Chains A and B, each alone.
Chain A
C-alpha cells in the first residue's frame, strides 16, 4: 500500500476508524462505521466527505475562456464569475475524456474540478488542446476538497462561517473564510441532496473537517466515505466516469444532451454525426423486482436475449430495492420496459425506471 497517495486528511480518517481502500491511486475511506448509516445520514441529516483526491486544473490568461469554450461541451463564455457548470471534455470520436465542473473565477480565470483517476490525463489533454494565451496549471496537490451534503448542510456550515449559505443558489459559489481558513464554497454536490463543496488549501483541510464535525454533531452530521458516495450518486442517477462514461461513450448516449452545446467545441461534430446515424444504445435506470444486487458488467436481457450491460448497480437504501444504470437499445430505454439482469445463473426480473430514482 506504500505506493498509494494520501490526502491531507489521512491521519484524521485513521483516527475516526475509517476502513481505507485504494481508489484512483489514493488510500481513501470507503466507510467509517457503515455505508448504509452514512448514506442515511446524508439523506436525513448531513454527511461530510473527503474528496481531496479529485483534481483542480486552472486556466488563466486572455485566452483562458476561449480555450475552455473549445474544450468543454458546456458554454463557458456565458458563465458568470461566481457560477459553476457541469460539462465534459470530449474527443474527436465523440467520446468523453472526463466529466467535470467548471468554476468561473474572474474574467480571465477559471478552474475545472476533475475526476481523481483522470487528473494527469486531463491536464495533458487541456495543455495539448488549449488555444493561445492560456496558462494551464494543475493545482491538485496543494488543494483539498470537502463535500458537506444533506438537508442540514446549510445550517451546519453557517455555524463555522459568515458566508450566505442559506441563500446561496445551486451552482453558485462564494469565496471567504470557513472555520478561519480561506475557502471557496459552491452549492454543488454528487449526492442528489442539498449540499456544499468546500475548496481549501491542503494545509487547512484537517482543521476545517474537524470544525465541521464538531459544529454538525447536534444535527447528526457524520463523516461519510466513498461507499456511501457511490450509493447516493446512484440513487440520483449521476454518471460515474469509468462506468457510465468513458472515451467511447457519447454524451448523448449517456443522456447528457442538456450539457452539450450545439457546436463550437472539440468533439461536437463527431457527437452530432453519431447521433444523426442513430446512437445504438441509451443509458437507462432500472429497478430489480426480484431479489439480488445488480453490479457493473452484469448482462441485461430482454425476451431472453442479451441486449445490453449494467454499468453500475447497488442496493438503494432509500428505496429498499436494488437499482442500477446500464446501456440498452434506445427503443427499450422506456420506463416500464420489463428486462432481466443476469446475476450468476439467474435472470432476475427488473424494469426500466425513470431517473433520478430518488428526488430531492
Chain B
C-alpha cells in the first residue's frame, strides 16, 4: 500500500529500440525508493530446443544458426563442438584455424554494427544511426565498411553470410584455398586501421562513470584470446570444464520472461561478453590491441559497463589482426572435415559469441538423433546482471528527468548488446511513463 502523498514513478519501456528482438523493462519508484526493476525478454531458443528433438546431429549447426541473424557462426560453432564432444572427435590444424577465422569475421561484423549503428548514437545523443549519419557521415561510412569487412570473411568461409551453410560438424563442407583467403587481405588491413581509429574515437565519447563488482565468466584458453575452446573460468574462482556447466550454473525460470535467467549456483548474477573476456584474457590480446587499450585509458580490467563500447572496439582490432595472422599462416588442408560415426552420447560446447559465452548441450541416441537439446545464450546469462546495472544507474540518477533517465536506462541495457530474440521485430518502441497515487 502506498500513500497518496508518495506517488509511484513508473518507467515502462515495452519495446526497446536498437536491442535485437523484443524486450521490456519495468521500473517502479515509490517515494524516491526503487521498488522494482524488471527486465523481461522474449527469447527463442526454447522453440529451437524443442524443434531439434528427433533431428540428426548433423542438422544442429544449420538449425541453431537460424536463432540469431547476427551471430549464426556462434551457434554453429557451439553446436558443432558439442556434437564433436558427444562423438569423440577433435578438429584441429587448419580446420581449427578456419573456425577461429570465421569467428573473427562474426566479431568484426557484430561489434562493428553495435559500436557504430546501435551504441554510439546513445553517447552522442542521437535517436539513431540515421540521425547520426547526417552529422557524422564519414564515421557512419567507416562503421558500415568495417561491418562489411566482417560480413565478407563470414561469407567467404561460411558460404553465405545470412546462413553460413558451409560449416558442418567436423569442419566444413569445403575448405577455402589459401588464394581465396588472400583476396580478403587488403580489406582486412583497411579494417585493422579502421578498428584502431575506432578505439581512439569511442574512447573520446562522453562515457558515464560506473563501477560494478562483476563476476566475469568466459571461455579461457591457455594460449589464445578465446573463441572456440577452453575451460570456463571466472575472476571469483570458477574454473571448470565446459561439461560441468550445469553443475556450476542454474537456469531459473522467471514468470515475466520467456527466457531462463542464469545464475552461478550460490553466488547469483554473473557477466559474460566483451568485458568478461577482456578481464580474464587481457594477456592474450597481443601488443597491438593491448597498447590501443592502454592508450584509450583502459587497464587490464574494466568494470564500467558503459566502457564496453571501448572494449568492443579493442576486440574488433584484435579480431582484424588475428584474421590477418590466421590467413598468413593458413595452408589449404587436404580434407575439409574430420570423419565421424554416429553413436549415443552427451556432448557439451561453449564458445564465445560476440555477446558472450554460448553453451550448447545435446544428448544423442545410437543413430545420432537428438534426444535433448539445451542452449544457454549469452543474453539470458546476462539478464540478472543487466537488472543489477539498471538498479545502480537508477539509484545514482533518480534526480534526472524521466526522459533523460529512460535514455540512460536504455543505454545501460545496450551496454550488453542484448541479442534478445532474432529477426523479426516490429518497429514501434514506446516509452510509457506514469505517475499515479495509492490505488496503483
A is bound by B: no
